Amino acid sequence: MALDNDTAVNSLGFAKPPSQTRVVVAMSGGVDSSVVAAYLADQGYDVIGVTLQLYDHGAALAKKGACCAGIDIHDARRVAEERGFPHYVLDYENIFKDAVIAEFADSYLAGATPVPCIRCNERVKFKDLLETAKDLEADCMATGHYIQRKMGENGPELHSAADASRDQSYFLFSTKPDQLEFLRFPLGHLPSKDATREMAAEYGLAVADKPDSQDICFVPNGNYASVIEKLRPGAAEPGQIVDVDGRVLGEHNGVIHYTIGQRRGLGIGGLADPLYVVKLDVDAKQVIVGPKDLLSTRTVPVREINWLGDTPLMSQPEWHVSVKVRSTRPPREAILRPISDSEAEVELLTAEEGVSPGQACVFYETEGSRIFGGGWIWRGA
């Protein structure tokens, strides 16, 4: 339907006044989503705040710097009360456990290094919560993620945040085109996190100085192994630490305590050169170690690809892109060679160290900020 030329488009892209535009804000209780909610309410939008309780409320009650439980739910509710918009807490514990935590545990047991935050966005926040927003007759859903949604010739596109140090595109590569139609990211254009905190202070939000979340929300103090042992009793079975030739160098108390590229904590001193974990053999209960150069690879196999390009992935044999193989690393130039609509091989023009199954490989345009999607690294190169 064509829009009346006299109808102004509001800041969320709708040809109607903010007061007639309903937006559900996914509120984690942190400063980012709180600022989004306060900003949109201040602009006169019909704001509804929704917080998902994702894991045990009691266990997380006093844990700061996480999201979606305990004190964070209280903080989100307080922001809504102060700014005068409704706020709902939805119990998603069972969904979160089945869709995110279970796979996290199983991936670690299989020797992979999973990224549960991506699965949470994909399977919970941008799936079930997004459908809840539609049930609430919202026009769109807004989040506090640092990423940009821009309109292109073929519809909305996903772009990196203006502040590269805050960019969260690695964690959002699996966003589908139909989800992108409904989503909004009001913070993506801001120059820095300081700008967000300044806005929080201007709105008088109590969370203005709240620390950023650091750990995975359901993993206290970054201790993955303890969580997995609780979820999968008997998972920490002892075994051998061996070199690439099979020589036994020591013992370990469970493969789940190790990740590809790890150097510290191996407990095998007295060697002339440092050794790194280069492979995990779950079936043999072996941690395989070797010199650092064995960690380098230029070939990255990916599957479960979510493609966000304007033409189909299989429409050409090669795509020249930049890729991230870990969230903390800058994009590196690569050649993407599709095998099917959901599987490809990525050739890195410069070798990367510690490429691990279970991590994501995210595709970017070589010049510019657009994200073309990504896939999951699924086996060693």
Does 315 have pLDDT greater than 60? yes
Of the residues 179, 196, 221, the one at which a domain ends:
221
Which DSSP string do the residues of 145-197 spell out, in sequence order? -SEEEEEETTEEEEEE-SSTTT--GGGGTT--HHHHHHEE-TTTT-S-HHHHH
| Domain membership of residue 324 as a residue range | 296-377
Mean pLDDT over residues 35-52, rounded? 97
Does 181 have pLDDT greater than 90? yes
> Does residue 92 lie within any of the structural domains?
yes
Q: Which one is predicted more confidently, 256 or 33?
A: 33
pLDDT band for 234, please (50, 70, 90 cuts).
Answer: confident
Cβ-proximal residues to 82 (8 Å cutoff; 6+ apart), any chain = 204, 205, 206
Q: Are residues 304 and 281 in the same domain?
A: no
Positive or negative: CA dihedral 339, 340, 345, 347:
positive
C-alpha span between 118 and 2 (Å, rounded): 36
C-alpha span between 55 and 171 (Å, rounded): 20
C-alpha span between 12 and 269 (Å, rounded): 58
For residue 104, what is the domain's CATH number? 3.40.50.620
Of the residues 221, 253, 271, the one at which a domain ends:
221
User: What's residue 69's pLDDT?
Assistant: 53
> Does residue 1 lie within any of the structural domains?
no
User: What's residue 304's pLDDT?
Assistant: 96
Q: Are residues 79 and 196 in the same domain?
A: yes
Q: Are residues 55 and 93 in the same domain?
A: yes
pTM of the model: 0.88
User: What's residue 243's pLDDT?
Assistant: 93
> Does residue 285 lie within any of the structural domains?
yes
Q: Are residues 170 and 94 in the same domain?
A: yes
Q: Which one is predicted more confidently, 315 or 282?
A: 315
Q: Are residues 25 and 64 in the same domain?
A: yes
Cβ-proximal residues to 84 (8 Å cutoff; 6+ apart), any chain = 41
User: What's residue 214's pLDDT?
Assistant: 65
Q: Are residues 214 and 252 in the same domain?
A: no
For residue 357, what is the domain's CATH number? 2.40.30.10
> Does residue 80 lie within any of the structural domains?
yes
pLDDT band for 62, please (50, 70, 90 cuts).
Answer: very low
Q: Are residues 154 and 100 in the same domain?
A: yes
Mean pLDDT of the chain: 89
> Does residue 6 lie within any of the structural domains?
no
Mean pLDDT over residues 87-98, rounded? 91
Q: Are residues 174 and 97 in the same domain?
A: yes
- Percentage of the chain beyond pLDDT 90 is 64
> Does residue 9 lie within any of the structural domains?
no
Mean pLDDT over residues 272-282, rounded? 87
Mean pLDDT over residues 206-219, rounded? 80
Q: Are residues 169 and 45 in the same domain?
A: yes
Q: Are residues 131 and 264 in the same domain?
A: no
Question: Among all residues, which ones are annotated catalytic?
Answer: 120, 217
Tokens of 84: 């005068």
201-229 core/surface letters (b: 16 or more CB in 10 A; e: else): eebebebbebeebeebbbbeeeebbebbb
**Residue indicated by tokens 């510290």:** 264
Alpha helices in 190-334 (DSSP H): 193-202, 224-231
User: What's residue 41's pLDDT?
Assistant: 98
Of the residues 167, 188, 221, the one at which a domain ends:
221
Beta bridge partners, 88, equal 50
> Does residue 10 lie within any of the structural domains?
no
> Does residue 4 lie within any of the structural domains?
no
User: What's residue 265's pLDDT?
Assistant: 81
- Residue (of 308, 377, 313) closest to 340 by Cα position: 313
Q: Are residues 215 and 241 in the same domain?
A: no
- Helices 31-42 and 70-83: crossing angle in degrees, nearest 10, is 20
For residue 251, what is the domain's CATH number? 2.30.30.280
User: What's residue 68's pLDDT?
Assistant: 52
Does 130 have pLDDT greater than 70? yes
Q: Are residues 316 and 249 in the same domain?
A: no
The domain total for the chain is 3
pLDDT band for 168, please (50, 70, 90 cuts).
Answer: very high
